[in-house]
Amino acid sequence: MARLTPDQYHVPVMLRECLNALQVQHGGTFVDATLGGGGHTSEILSSEQRAANSELRATSYVKVIAFDADEVAIQRAQDRFADVLGSRLVVIHANFRTMAEHLAEHAPIDGVLFDLGVSSYQFDHHERGFSYRQEAPLDMRFTPEGDTAADLLNTLSEDELVRVFRDYGEDPSARKLAAAVVRRRTLAPYRTTIDLRDTIVQHIPPQHHNKTLARVFQALRIAVNDELGALQQALIDVIPFCRQGARLVVMSYHSLEDRIVKDTFKSDNRLKILTKKPVMADADEVARNPRSRSARLRVAETVVPPSYFSP
């Protein structure tokens, strides 16, 4: 695997805001639920370096438990963080929806960070078909298991495709596009991103091509990976492992994710909401990193002691 610099893999959005909200303290244990290129994890681990003149000792170093379902991200982290791997950093190759299976031995947790969505590297360079701008297999899976995007396009009924495009892509042309997909697959099965892109551009006015493509690709990716179900489950499951006063910091990139975070925070009486409205990237960051434009940051704090040890 070729070496990648951190900025080639992913540029962390609202990095300082995330770290401030997380309230990283020496001696704490923090979860990076979406390791990606390791930008947030690196900042959390290096926090003690900014207090080198304090009386803190090595025993008070921060520890990070990092999750990622993508093998590329895991391999990259093992290379980048080789000097602290296994001591101050535990990397777990798993979707964050399974974190409850792994956290008991590391609890209590002092904070959890979710940076949702797909990394810049996955969009721009990955071979799993996350982007409509490159020709690649219509895969879109974060892990090798389960149905691919091509499987869904080739097997779902027209009504099921409408639901995917409408509910996960919020696309007003869902019915038209689903019918077009069903007609197209009778001629040949879907295999590549170009197959799907061609279908969409043939049925949508040119001025709406990019927006519709983005919505449909997003919808399929969410459906393939059950991203919304995983997010809701993880937010609920992690709370029993958190110390009272621990921070849950979640950065989402579209309204579907943000709505789940907002509703989960509001409905769970184990949490106190700290952000009445989502925090957004400032103009300078948006200019530097256009992908930050859609980011929404929400923060909550646990108000009950951990209960992971309860029967």
Domain around 142: 128-225
Same domain for 94 and 141, yes or no, is: no
The answer to whether residue 308 sits within a structural domain is no
180 and 251 share one domain: no
Q: Residue 126 has what pLDDT?
A: 65
Among 225, 255, 289, the domain boundary falls at 225
Asked if 76 and 220 sit in the same domain, the reply is: no
Task: Pick the last residue of a domain from 225, 257, 278.
Answer: 225
In a domain? residue 192: yes
Q: Starting from the edge strand earliest in sequence, which strands make up the sheet with 89-93, in order?
A: 89-93, 63-68, 29-32, 109-115, 242-252, 296-302, 271-273
The total number of structural domains in the chain stands at 2
- Residue 167 to residue 199: CA distance in whole angstroms: 20
Using alpha carbons, select from 287, 298, 293 the residue that is nearest to residue 264. Answer: 298
In a domain, 211, yes or no: yes
Tokens of 71: 């093998």
pLDDT of residue 311: 44
User: Does residue 239 sit in the same domain as residue 112?
Assistant: yes
> 89: domain CATH number?
3.40.50.150
Residue 70 is predicted with a pLDDT of 85
Cis geometry, peptide bond prior to residue 189 (ω within 30 degrees of 0) = no
Q: Which of 184, 185, 166 is nearest to 175 (CA)?
A: 166
CATH of the domain at 157: 1.10.150.170
Residue 189 in any domain: the answer is yes
Residue 283 lies in a domain: yes
108: which 2 tokens?
């209590």
Q: Which residues contact 92 (CB under 8 A, 6 or more apart)?
A: 65, 66, 67, 68, 99, 102
Domain boundary among 225, 252, 284: 225
Together in a domain, 90 and 65: yes
pLDDT tens digits along 22-52: 999 888 999 999 998 899 999 999 875 554 4
CA atoms within 13 A on the CB side of 269: 0
User: Tell me, what's the pLDDT at 233?
Assistant: 95
Same domain for 145 and 286, yes or no, is no
Same domain, 152 and 165: yes
Examine residue 142 and state whether it is found in any structural domain, yes or no: yes
Distance CA 6, CA 190 (A): 34
Q: 63 lies in a domain?
A: yes
pLDDT in tens, 188-200: 999 999 999 999 9
Residue 114 and residue 21 share a domain: yes
Q: Are 117 and 23 members of one domain?
A: yes
Same domain assignment for residues 199 and 256:
no
Q: Which helix (H) or strand (E) holds 97?
A: none
Neighbours of 49 (CB within 10 A): 7
Distance between CA atoms of residues 97 and 13, nearest Å: 22
Same domain, 185 and 234: no
**DSSP state, residue 207:** G
What pLDDT score was predicted for residue 3? Answer: 40
Q: Are residues 293 and 240 in the same domain?
A: yes
Q: What is the mean pLDDT of each run of 10 residues along the chain (311 residues)?
A: 44 88 92 92 78 48 92 89 92 94 94 83 67 91 91 98 97 97 97 96 95 96 95 96 97 94 97 96 91 93 85 44
Residue 55 lies in a domain: yes
Token pair, residue 130, equals 């996350």
What tokens appear for 302 in the block?
A: 């646990």
pLDDT given for residue 234 in this prediction: 97
The answer to whether 260 touches 231, Cβ cutoff 8 Å, is yes
Answer yes or no: are the C-beta atoms of 270 and 245 closer than 8 Å: no
d(CA 151, CA 112): 34
